[in-house]
Structure 1
Amino acid sequence: MRKSSRSRTLAAMPLSPLIRFGTSTWAYEGWQGLVYKRPYPKSRFASECLGEYCQYQYQGEPLFRTVGNDSTFYRPPTANQLRRYLHQIFDEFDMCCKVWEEITIPQYAKQPRYGAKAGQPNPRFLDPAVFNDLVLAPYREARFEPHTGPFIFEFQRHGLSVEEFCSRLDAFFRQVPKDFRYAVEVRNAGLLGPEYRQVLERHGVAHVYNHWSYMPPLAEQHRRLGRFTAPFTVLRLLTPLKMSYEQAKKRAEPYTKIIEELPEMRRDTVDLIRQAVREERQAYVLVNNRAEGNAPLTIQALVDRLRSGA
């Protein structure tokens, strides 16, 4: 089948090397036939498919130049895990890992997985020594630094005031190593303002523009901040706005196709990417299946839009 002239034109317009697209994580069996063509034993699919993910091409170019690692929110990776990733990824590829929740939750939720700690204050919240010794250490041991994208600090909704949160954040980033990049994702919309922006700017930390259930649209987040806060930026397209995680998950499974396009999300994402590139900032864009139903297809649509100039 011959490609249309439009397809040939789009394929001939390479994206800026400053742009890195990836998915929130990579091991989805619903992507078999799209991203994954090789047969995998079910028991080894998650551990072996990253290499094929990195090689996946769209219109003659690798589509994914980064990937999120959500599992590191629940426990830091071991050096051996990171070494296994190194055997599968290529030179110009970064992994954006979430920071262990022991660093980012001020109080343990009343959930069974926390056991006796449920409902209690977290003494490790924003502890720079714990972060350095337990989170960063495996990356150094595995020599993973060249492939480490921005670490993502996901702060779920909490009851801290703007002043207390920003003060704790400022103290933390004053004490952590400067040879890694950091990005902060907040789920309290009230934090978006001058005090939060000034803390991030002071330490060269990026705000994560997160398209998530109860946050403002991406463009509104940028309006409230006024400008980017670091030499790079991070966008995470997670769920439709005003829709819970559980609803989004149920709507999107089994992640084999686009369920519903989100035009405002796509437009705001492309606008922020273009602004970042104009300012010579690197843009990391991580897409979750629960946004539109199939993250690789959402990324393809964003690439087409960027190439078309629309």
Structure 2
Amino acid sequence: MMQVPDSYPRKDQLERIERYDFRGIHQNIRFGTASDRYAGWIGQIYPASYATRTKKRTRKLAGVTYEERTVPIDSVVDYFQHFSVLEIDFTYYRPLVEEDGSPSSNTHVLQRYVDAAPDNARFILKVPNLFFSRRVMRRVEGKSKSVVNDDYLNRDKYLVQFHRPAIELVGDRLKGLLFEQEYQRKAGAPTSDQNVEELDSFFEAVPREVPIHLEIRSPHLLDEPYFDWLETCGLGHVFSHWTWLPPLRKQWRMSGERFTEADGEAMVRLLTPLKMPYAKAYAKTHPFDQVVQSVA
């Protein structure tokens, strides 16, 4: 009789997965999601009682308006009955502290998450694009335009407006910071050496209280000198399955088949299908209440 390898999922593990319980599948792997309050998850992640506690909002993508329904923040208690870690995405759009030193609206929302979450909750925070995007969207003469970001890699503002407040607010439940940089065409981007030099100047003075992971979405910048620099600094590469990035296997080869984060941790983000724009992927999966095979 053939012996089943220990690496195969056990029956009890498979039963838990059928219940959307992804905790404890492997001692060295934590499963979680980017954002969490989808009403489409009611009956899967969230109990039916949340059906009477949803809020509606609209979102426009590629000229199409969608209705989104969300459950309240205290649903995070039920979220952590299924997952081991939660990536907080809304911090990408605004710092925790305004330039005048006052707490931003994001601080109050994040505080509610921290207060509601169980003691064993683990959070990953997405760093505001204000500090890590070369270009940002701004209203110019009544229209939304991409402009040069004057605060790109502004270390002092980053530490005051996000890093230190995040550490203080989330405490030991903060398990990582995610720096995402937008896709840039090769013609208008810095060289690999220039990119590493800029990043090194910024990160050399950023404290390492928690693991830091970089998601650089420009494939031409993911070369050997970049990964060597990551390893030297103990920073992690985010293996991201995203529209214009190479497949994960190729990213692994590009990295020299190594995990560069100081503690040996790695972050994998399964986002959009390759070569599929976000708006198209969103249209295919909205309202996020079932598995859609064409993007799975």
Bigger Cα displacement from structure 2, 221-230 vs 74-83: 74-83
CA distance in 2, matches of 1:255, 1:122: 33
Change over 3 Å in CA distance of 1:29–1:87 after alignment to 2? same
SS across alignment from 1:179? coil
Matched, 1:50 2:102: no
Q: Spell out, residue by residue over 1:198-249, the C-alpha distance to the aligned partner (whole angstroms, 9 max, x if none).
A: 2211211110000001111101001011111012100000011111111111
The answer to whether the Cα contact below 8 Å between 1:50 and 1:88 also exists between their aligned partners in 2 is yes
Q: Any unmatched runs of 5+ in structure 1?
A: 57-63, 262-290, 293-310
Residue 209 of structure 1 corresponds to 239
Identity within the alignment, % = 28
Q: CA deviation at 1:117?
A: 9.2
CA distance in 2, matches of 1:152, 1:136: 11
Q: Spell out, residue by residue over 1:60-82, the C-alpha distance to the aligned partner (whole angstroms, 9 max, x if none).
A: xxxx0101111111012444333
CA distance in 1, matches of 2:238, 2:167: 24
Q: CA deviation at 1:116?
A: 8.8
Q: CA deviation at 1:55?
A: 1.9
CA distance in 1, matches of 2:141, 2:130: 11
Matched, 1:239 2:272: yes
4+ long deviations beyond 6 Å? 113-117
SS across alignment from 2:73? helix
Which aligned pairs between 1:78-93 and structure 2 lie closer than 5 A? Answer: 78-93=106-121
Residue 121 of structure 1 corresponds to 148
The answer to whether the Cα contact below 8 Å between 1:79 and 1:141 also exists between their aligned partners in 2 is no
Which aligned pairs between 1:89-238 and structure 2 lie closer than 5 A? Answer: 89-109=117-137, 112=139, 118-142=145-169, 144-158=170-184, 159-226=189-256, 227-230=258-261, 231-238=264-271
Residue 94 of structure 2 corresponds to 75
Residue 7 of structure 1 corresponds to 11
- Larger % of helix: which? 1
Q: CA deviation at 1:139?
A: 2.0
Q: Spell out, residue by residue over 1:59-106, the C-alpha distance to the aligned partner (whole angstroms, 9 max, x if none).
A: xxxxx0101111111012444333322222223321111110111111
Residue 53 of structure 2 corresponds to 41
Which aligned pairs between 1:268-283 and structure 2 lie closer than 5 A? Answer: none
Q: What is the TM-score normalised by the length of structure 2?
A: 0.77
Amino acid at match of 1:76: P
Q: Any unmatched runs of 5+ in structure 2?
A: 1-8, 17-22, 56-69, 97-105
Change over 3 Å in CA distance of 1:203–1:249 after alignment to 2? same
The answer to whether the Cα contact below 8 Å between 2:73 and 2:116 also exists between their aligned partners in 1 is no
Residue 31 of structure 1 corresponds to 41
SS across alignment from 1:149? strand
The answer to whether the Cα contact below 8 Å between 2:192 and 2:223 also exists between their aligned partners in 1 is no
Change over 3 Å in CA distance of 1:15–1:115 after alignment to 2? same
- Cα root mean square deviation, aligned: 2.6
CA distance in 2, matches of 1:120, 1:51: 40
Q: CA deviation at 1:11?
A: 5.4
Q: CA deviation at 1:119?
A: 4.0
Amino acid at match of 2:228: Q
Amino acid at match of 1:7: K
Q: What is the TM-score normalised by the length of structure 1?
A: 0.73
CA distance in 2, matches of 1:9, 1:98: 30
The answer to whether the Cα contact below 8 Å between 2:13 and 2:25 also exists between their aligned partners in 1 is no
Report how many residues are paired. Answer: 250
Change over 3 Å in CA distance of 1:190–1:115 after alignment to 2? farther
Indicate the structure (1 or 2) with the bigger Cα radius of gyration: 2
Higher relative contact order (CA 8 A, sep 6+): 1
CA distance in 1, matches of 2:276, 2:200: 32
The answer to whether the Cα contact below 8 Å between 2:217 and 2:244 also exists between their aligned partners in 1 is yes
CA distance in 2, matches of 1:117, 1:129: 27
SS across alignment from 1:152? strand
Q: CA deviation at 1:140?
A: 3.5
Residue 66 of structure 1 corresponds to 85
